Structure 1
Amino acid sequence: MIKGMGLSLIDSLDTMLIMNLTNYYKHARDYLAETLSWDRDIIVSVFETNIRCVGGLLAAYDMTQDEFFLKSAVDLGDRLLNAFQTPTGLPRTTVNLKTGAATNPSWTQQSSLLAEIGTLQIEFSYLSYASKQPRFAQKAMAVYDHLLTLMPEDKLLPIFINPDDGKPKGTDLVSVGALGDSYFEYLFKYWLITKKASRWGKEYFETVESILNTLAFKIVDQDEEMWYIAERQNKNINHKFDHLACFFGGLLALDAQHAPTEQMRERHMEIGKGIGAFCRKMYTMNPTRLPCDFVNIVGNTISNPIAAGKGWLMRPEAVETWFILYRLTNDTKYQEWGWDYFEAIEKYTKKEYGYTGLRDVTDSQKLEPDDVQQSYFLAETLKYLFLLFSPKDTIPLDKFVFNTEAHPLSFFEAQ
C-alpha cells in the first residue's frame, strides 16, 4: 500500500487476470472492495494516479464488467478533475484527493509537463464511454485542443507548459524519453482505440515524421543496424537515449500497420526494429545483462553514464517493444531477448519476498539493491514478458490498446 491507495494491487489486477491467477485476483478484488477509499487527505500525482489506478481499475472492469471497478474509477476520476480548474483548463501536476487543492512543483517553474497533460486522454475518454458521463472526456480532450493552438511548424512541442496562461515556459527541450514520452504514444493510441474516428492520427503521423527527420540516428555495431532517438534543447542535439524511450520502437512498429503510405510503413518498421536492437545492446553491454537508465552515444559508440543513471529501475519499455515486434514479425529472437532479460532478473534481483531494483548494474560483483519493488514491475515488466510467450489471441493488438502502464483496454467509440 502507498498512502493507503493499494497501488500495487490495483496496478496488477489485470496481470493476475491475464495470467489466470484466479485465487490471487479474487483475494485482491475482495480486499480492495473492503478497504479502498479515495476520500483521503493526500497529495498525489495526477499523471501517475491516472495511468496506474484509473487505468488499472478500467482494465479490470473491461475484462470482468465488475461494477465495483467502474464505480471506484469514477470516484477517483472526479477527484482528479479538480486539477483541471485552471484558467486554461490544462491540469496541474498534483492534487489533494480530499480537498481538491492542486499545485505544480517548483522544479518545473510552476509549469505542467507535456507527458503528464498529454497522457490522460485514453483513460478519461474510456471512463466517459463506460460510465456514460461525458465530463471526463471533455476535460481531457480540451487539453489536446489547447495543444493544437501551441503547435510549432515542426510539430515538436516543448516539455514545459504553464497552465495559467497556457504558454510554453522555460527550456524548449524536446524528448521522446522522460517528460515527453507518453504524449507521443497517446496521440497515436487514442486515435487507434477510438477506431480512427478523429483527427489525432493525422497529428500523430505528422509529429512522428518530424521526430524521425530531425532526431533519429542510425549506428552500426558488428554489422547490425541500430537506431535511437536523440534529444533537442535550444536547437542543439544531445545524443542521449533514455531506457524510457525504448517504448518508441514498439510504437513505430505498431503505427506501421496503420500509416497512410507504404513508404512510411516500411520506414517506421525499419526504425522500430532498429530501436529494439539498440535497446537490446543497452542490456548486453553490461555484465548483469540489465540496462542502465540511459546511455550516451558518440559516433558508433554507446556508453553508460559516469555517475547517476547506472541503476536498474525494473523498467518495461524494451520488453514492451520486443513483445510488439514479436507479435508483428513472428521473429523468435525477440522471445530470446526477453527470456535473457527474465533470467537476469531472476539471477540478480529476486529476494525472499519479491524483487528489487539495483543501484548499479555495471559491476555484477558489487550489486546494491535499492529495496524497492515498483508497482509497474507487476503491471508492465512481468506482463509484457508473459505476453511475449503467450498465444497471439491473448490480448490481440487489433482489439486492444495498452495504456502507458500496460493496462489493456478494448477499442471503443468516443463519446
Structure 2
Amino acid sequence: YSFGMQCLLIYSVLVSSICIYLFLLFYMFLMLKLDHAYPADELMPLTCRGRVRGLEPSRGDVDDALGKFSLTLIDTLDTLVLLNKTEEFEEAVRRVLKDVRLDNDVVVSVFETNIRVLGGLLGGHSMAVMLKGGGQHMLWYEDELLHMARDLGLRLLPAFNTSSGLPYPRINLRHGVVGPETRTGTETDTCTACAGTIILEFAALSRFTGDPVFEAHARRALDFLWEKRQRNSNLVGTTINIHSGEWVRRDSGVGAGIDSYYEYLLKAYVLLGDDQFLQRFNIHYASIMKYISQPPLLLDVHIHKPRLPARTWMDSLLAFFPGLQVLKGDIRPAIETHEMLYQVTRKHNFLPEAFTTDFQVHWAQHPLRPEFAESTYFLYKATRDPYYLDVGRTVLENLNRFARVPCGFRCYEGTCNGLLFLAEMFKYLFLLFAEDEDLPFDVEDYVFTTEAHLLPLSLSTALRSSSPPQTTPQIYELDDANFEWTCPNTRLLFPDPAYPRSLREPIRSAVDKSCPRPAPPREAGLGRAPLRAQDFMANSPEHLELLRRMGVSLIHLKDGRVQLVQHASQAVSAVAAEDGMRFMQEMMELSSQQQKEQLPPRAVQIISHPFLGRVVLTAGPAQFGMDLSKSSLGVRGFVAVVEPYSGCSELTNAEFVAGRIALLQRGQCMFAEKARHIQKAGAIGGIVIDDNEGSSSDTAPLFQMAGDGRSTDDVTLPLLFLFHKEGSILLQALKEHREVEVLLSEKARDRGKPRNEALLCFCSFLPVSSLFHSFISIVFITLSLSISFFLSCCLTFARSLSPPTDEQKPYLRGGPFLAPCQMAVSNLSSSSSFCTAVFIESTPDGLHSTALFRSSALVYRAP
C-alpha cells in the first residue's frame, strides 16, 4: 500500500510538472509574439518575425484568416484567463481596444473570421464579464469587446445576402461583397462546414446584444443545409452552390469540409437548448454510424450511394470526431477510433494530414492540428483513464522533439497555421493535465467552440431568436429514444476499469499488422539496418532521426541538392555506426544507378515577339509525366504564374491557368503534388523555378525532379525545372510583356533567321525649336516605313553587325537588328537634331517592323 501511494504521488507530481511546463510554454510564446510580431496577425516561428498579409509570400487560403486585426492576441484572450493570468488578460484586452481596427480593406474568410475573431472577442467578453462579477478585476470594463464583436458581426452579415441564405466564402471587411472594390463576391461554392459553422458565435452575439438578426441568419443557413441533405441517406455533401443549393462535391464524411457542421449541430443544442438541433444531429449521426463508420475507420462515401466508398484514405481533421462522440455519449466507438489514430501517431510521430486504410502516409504534412489532443482531453474527462494522460504526454514530447524552434513550433511539409497551436493545442493539453482545483472557474459551465473559445451555458436562457424555423416540423422515429435524448453515465455503463483497455488492444494489433512500426536502430547488433537507401525520404522526421542515431547528417547545398555525411563518432553506438556505413554504401550505389539512368536536359524556348525563339533556357526534366523526347512538336503555350506560387494546394486562379503553362516555385511540397495541382486546374504543362537564389545551369549539374514515392501514372503533363538564374529571365520577360509564349521541348527548335531585311536611317539636323519639327518628323516616319516595306520585299541584305554597347542596349530591346542605326541615333546632338530609323524584317513568324525616333535626348520605340 505504501509503495502504491508513493507511485501515485510520483505520477501526480509528474502530471503537475507537465501542467506547469505547458503554462510556461504558452506564456513564453505569447510574450515572444508580443515582442517580435505585435500587432501582426501571426508570429513566424522560423524567422521570429510577424506575418503581415501582403508583405510575405502568399500561403493561399490559409492567409484568408489574416485581416490585419492582431489575430493571435484576440484568439488567445480566454486562454489567459484559463491559465489564471488575469492581469495579463486585462492588459491584452486594453491592447485590443487600443490597437485593433476592423475597417480594413482586406478580403477575409467568413468562416475563419467567425470562429477566430468573432469567437475570440465573445470568449474574451465572457471572461471579462465573469471577472468583473468577481469584484476584483476588469471593474472598468463596459462591454467594449462585445461592441467590437457586434461591429464585426455587422461586417460579416452582407455575406449572407444570397438566395439560399448560405454565406459567400469571402468578404471584404470594408466594402462587403458587392462591387469591384470588394475583389470578391464572384464565388459560387462553399464547403458545408464553412456555411454550417456559424450558429454558436452568431447566436451568442444575438443573446449577448439582444439583436436577433445574427442568430436568424445563422439558423437560416443551417435550415437550408438540412433541407438539402440527401433524403435517403440523410448525409450531406462536402461542397455546395450558395445560389442554387446543388451539391458540387457529393462525397460525405466527418473530416475536411464537413467536420464542424456536425459539431455545431450538437453544440448548438447544448448551448441554446433547442431540441431541433439535437433531432437533426441524431438523424445525421445514425447515418454516419450506418454508412461512414467502419470501426475503427471513418471512410467517406457518396451521398447517393452510401454503400460505395468515395476514397481509400482519411484526413486528420476527423480526429475531432471521437471527442464529439464523447459529447454525444457514445463512448465505445470513440475509444476505438481514438486508439486507431493514436497508433498511427506513434508510427509516424505525428498524425499525417492524410493516411490510407492500411495506415500508411498519404499526405506527408502535419500543420500542428489540435483535433487529436481535443479528443484525448474529452476521453480522459469521460473515463478518467490515466492512459490518456500518457497519450497527451506522447503528443507533447513529439512536439518538443520534432517541431520546437526558438520562436514556436514549426509545421512539417505543409502550409502552417500557428493559430491552431496557440489557441487550441495548448488549451486542450493544459486542460488534460490540470486538476479541477487548478482552474479559476468551472469549464463545465461553458461550451467549447470549434476554435476552443468559451461560451457560457447561461445563454440558453437569454434572448431567443425571433425568426421562425424555415423548415416544416417533422416527427422522426428513433430506434432508441432514451439513448438519443439523454447523456449516459459512462461509469454505470462501463464499471470495469479494464473495459477501455479491452477495446484498445484489438485496434493496436490490427494497426501493427497493417503497418508495422520501423524497428529502432540496433543497439545490440541484432537485425538488419533500420533504414534502406531506397526507402529514405528527406522530409520524413522519423528518417531524419534514424540518420542522426547512425551519425549521418544531411546538408542542404545552395543548388538545392542534399549531401549526406557520416561521422561514425557521432553515432549512438558502434552498431549504429555500422548501420550508418551500410546505409551510406547503399546510397552511393543507388546514386550511381540513377546517374546511369540520367535523362538529357530539356529546353524552354521563348517564342513570342520580340524574342522569336532566340532565348533558350536549359531545363531539367521530371522522372514522371509526359516524355518530351517522344513528342515531335513539344508543348507550346502562354505562361501563367500560379496562386499560391508554391502550387502546393488547389490553385485560386485555376481559370486563368487553364490551357496555359503554369509557372510555380520549388519548395513546400513534392514535385508530383505540384504537378497534380496544376493538372487539376487545367494547365497543359508546368515550369518549376528554383527557390535557391543564384543557382544556375552554368554552374550546377542537371537537376531531375523525382516522384513522391507513389505511382505518378496520373500525371500526364510535362514538368520542367529551371534554376533561379534561368527562371529570373523568364519572369523578367513576363514582367515586361503581358503575354509570353514558350515552347517546352526535348531541344531548342531553329526558328529561322530573317530572310528579307531592310534598314533605313533618316537624320536631319534641324533646330528643336523649328515650327516644322513635328511635321517633318511625321513625314520622315511615314516615308521611311513605306520605302522600307518596299525594300524588304525585294532586297536581301547581308548583315555584319557588332553587338550594341551597354549604353545602347536600353534603346535596342527589340533585338540586335537595330544595331546599324546605333551610331546614327546615339551620336546626334540632343539639343539640335532628330533622327528616324525604321527596320523591317521578315521571319517565319511573320513581318515585324520597328521605328526609332530620337529628338532632344529622348528615344521612342514603336514596334
Q: TM-score range by the shorter chain?
A: 0.7 to 0.9
In the TM superposition, what is the alpha-carbon distance from 1:242 to its structure 2 partner?
1.4
In the TM superposition, what is the alpha-carbon distance from 1:396 to its structure 2 partner?
4.9
Is 1:200 the counterpart of 2:267? The answer is: no
Is residue 241–residue 248 contact of structure 2 (8 Å, CA) maintained in 1?
A: no
**Correspondence for 1:262:** none
SS of 2:279's equivalent in the other structure is: helix
**Correspondence for 1:142:** 220
**Correspondence for 2:433:** 389
**Correspondence for 2:690:** none
Percent identity over paired residues: 29
**Correspondence for 1:159:** 238
- The change in CA–CA distance for 1:200 and 1:373 in structure 2 (over 3 A counts) is closer
Structure 1 or 2, whichever has the larger Rg, is: 2
Q: Give CA deviations for 1:265-309 in whole Å, capped at 9, x if unaligned.
A: xxx2110111211121221012xx222111110xxx31111xxx2
**Correspondence for 1:175:** 253
For residues 7 and 376 of structure 1, the distance between their equivalents in structure 2, rounded to whole angstroms, comes to: 11
**Correspondence for 2:128:** 64
**1:404 pairs with one of 450, 453, 456:** 450
**1:344 pairs with one of 391, 398, 404:** 398
For residues 263 and 211 of structure 2, the distance between their equivalents in structure 1, rounded to whole angstroms, comes to: 25
Is residue 84–residue 91 contact of structure 1 (8 Å, CA) maintained in 2?
A: yes
SS of 1:152's equivalent in the other structure is: coil
**2:80 pairs with one of 16, 28, 37:** 16
Q: Give CA deviations for 1:187-232 in whole Å, capped at 9, x if unaligned.
A: 100011113x3311011011011001111112xxxxxxxx121111
Is residue 158–residue 168 contact of structure 1 (8 Å, CA) maintained in 2?
A: no
Amino acid in structure 2 at the alignment position of 1:117: A
**Correspondence for 2:99:** 35
SS of 2:275's equivalent in the other structure is: coil
**Which piece of structure 1 moves more, 21-30 or 75-84?**
21-30
Is residue 181–residue 244 contact of structure 1 (8 Å, CA) maintained in 2?
A: yes
Is residue 44–residue 97 contact of structure 1 (8 Å, CA) maintained in 2?
A: yes
**Which piece of structure 1 moves more, 197-206 or 231-240?**
231-240
SS of 2:388's equivalent in the other structure is: helix
Amino acid in structure 1 at the alignment position of 2:109: S
Q: Give CA deviations for 1:94-142 in whole Å, capped at 9, x if unaligned.
A: 0000001164676xxx212110110000100000000111110011101
SS of 1:199's equivalent in the other structure is: helix
**Correspondence for 1:358:** 412
For residues 21 and 136 of structure 1, the distance between their equivalents in structure 2, rounded to whole angstroms, comes to: 32
In the TM superposition, what is the alpha-carbon distance from 1:23 to its structure 2 partner?
4.4
In the TM superposition, what is the alpha-carbon distance from 1:22 to its structure 2 partner?
3.4
Amino acid in structure 2 at the alignment position of 1:403: T
**Correspondence for 1:325:** 379
1:3-402 matched pairs, under 5 angstroms = 3-65=67-129, 66=141, 67-101=143-177, 103=184, 110-153=188-231, 154-165=233-244, 167-195=245-273, 197-218=274-295, 227-233=296-302, 235=305, 236-237=308-309, 238-256=311-329, 268-286=330-348, 289-297=349-357, 301-305=358-362, 309-359=363-413, 372=416, 374-392=418-436, 394=439, 396=442, 398-402=444-448
In the TM superposition, what is the alpha-carbon distance from 1:331 to its structure 2 partner?
0.5
For residues 104 and 282 of structure 2, the distance between their equivalents in structure 1, rounded to whole angstroms, comes to: 41
For residues 347 and 327 of structure 1, the distance between their equivalents in structure 2, rounded to whole angstroms, comes to: 27
Specify every segment of 5 or more residues in structure 1 that has no aligned partner in the other structure, as ranges. Answer: 219-226, 257-267, 361-369
Amino acid in structure 2 at the alignment position of 1:295: F
Amino acid in structure 2 at the alignment position of 1:325: L
In the TM superposition, what is the alpha-carbon distance from 1:398 to its structure 2 partner?
4.1
For residues 232 and 341 of structure 1, the distance between their equivalents in structure 2, rounded to whole angstroms, comes to: 30
Is residue 118–residue 183 contact of structure 1 (8 Å, CA) maintained in 2?
A: yes
Is residue 106–residue 173 contact of structure 2 (8 Å, CA) maintained in 1?
A: yes
In the TM superposition, what is the alpha-carbon distance from 1:91 to its structure 2 partner?
0.7
In the TM superposition, what is the alpha-carbon distance from 1:170 to its structure 2 partner?
2.5
For residues 48 and 331 of structure 1, the distance between their equivalents in structure 2, rounded to whole angstroms, comes to: 34
Amino acid in structure 2 at the alignment position of 1:404: T
SS of 1:170's equivalent in the other structure is: strand
For residues 347 and 180 of structure 1, the distance between their equivalents in structure 2, rounded to whole angstroms, comes to: 32
SS of 2:294's equivalent in the other structure is: strand
For residues 352 and 30 of structure 1, the distance between their equivalents in structure 2, rounded to whole angstroms, comes to: 28
Is residue 47–residue 116 contact of structure 1 (8 Å, CA) maintained in 2?
A: yes
Amino acid in structure 1 at the alignment position of 2:380: Y
Is residue 253–residue 292 contact of structure 2 (8 Å, CA) maintained in 1?
A: no
Is residue 58–residue 73 contact of structure 1 (8 Å, CA) maintained in 2?
A: yes
**Correspondence for 1:223:** none
**Relative to total residues, which structure has the larger helix share, 1 or 2?**
1
For residues 202 and 392 of structure 1, the distance between their equivalents in structure 2, rounded to whole angstroms, comes to: 32
Amino acid in structure 2 at the alignment position of 1:248: F
Amino acid in structure 1 at the alignment position of 2:422: L
Q: How many residues align?
A: 373
Larger relative contact order (C-alpha < 8 A, sep ≥ 6)?
1
For residues 192 and 84 of structure 1, the distance between their equivalents in structure 2, rounded to whole angstroms, comes to: 25
For residues 123 and 130 of structure 1, the distance between their equivalents in structure 2, rounded to whole angstroms, comes to: 10
In the TM superposition, what is the alpha-carbon distance from 1:330 to its structure 2 partner?
0.5
- The change in CA–CA distance for 1:335 and 1:104 in structure 2 (over 3 A counts) is farther
Is residue 355–residue 373 contact of structure 1 (8 Å, CA) maintained in 2?
A: no
Is residue 11–residue 52 contact of structure 1 (8 Å, CA) maintained in 2?
A: yes
- The change in CA–CA distance for 1:242 and 1:30 in structure 2 (over 3 A counts) is same
In the TM superposition, what is the alpha-carbon distance from 1:171 to its structure 2 partner?
2.4
In the TM superposition, what is the alpha-carbon distance from 1:21 to its structure 2 partner?
2.8
TM-score (norm: length of structure 1): 0.86
For residues 373 and 155 of structure 1, the distance between their equivalents in structure 2, rounded to whole angstroms, comes to: 33
For residues 403 and 185 of structure 2, the distance between their equivalents in structure 1, rounded to whole angstroms, comes to: 35
SS of 2:248's equivalent in the other structure is: coil
Q: Give CA deviations for 1:131-185 in whole Å, capped at 9, x if unaligned.
A: 11111001110112222322322210112222222x2232211121111110010
Is residue 111–residue 169 contact of structure 1 (8 Å, CA) maintained in 2?
A: no
Is residue 193–residue 257 contact of structure 2 (8 Å, CA) maintained in 1?
A: yes
Is residue 112–residue 163 contact of structure 1 (8 Å, CA) maintained in 2?
A: yes
Is residue 240–residue 249 contact of structure 2 (8 Å, CA) maintained in 1?
A: no
For residues 200 and 294 of structure 1, the distance between their equivalents in structure 2, rounded to whole angstroms, comes to: 30
Q: CA RMSD in A?
A: 1.8
Q: Give CA deviations for 1:349-398 in whole Å, capped at 9, x if unaligned.
A: 222222211228xxxxxxxxx7x551121110010000001224746564
Q: Give CA deviations for 1:18-39 in whole Å, capped at 9, x if unaligned.
A: 1123344233222211111110
- The change in CA–CA distance for 1:173 and 1:59 in structure 2 (over 3 A counts) is same
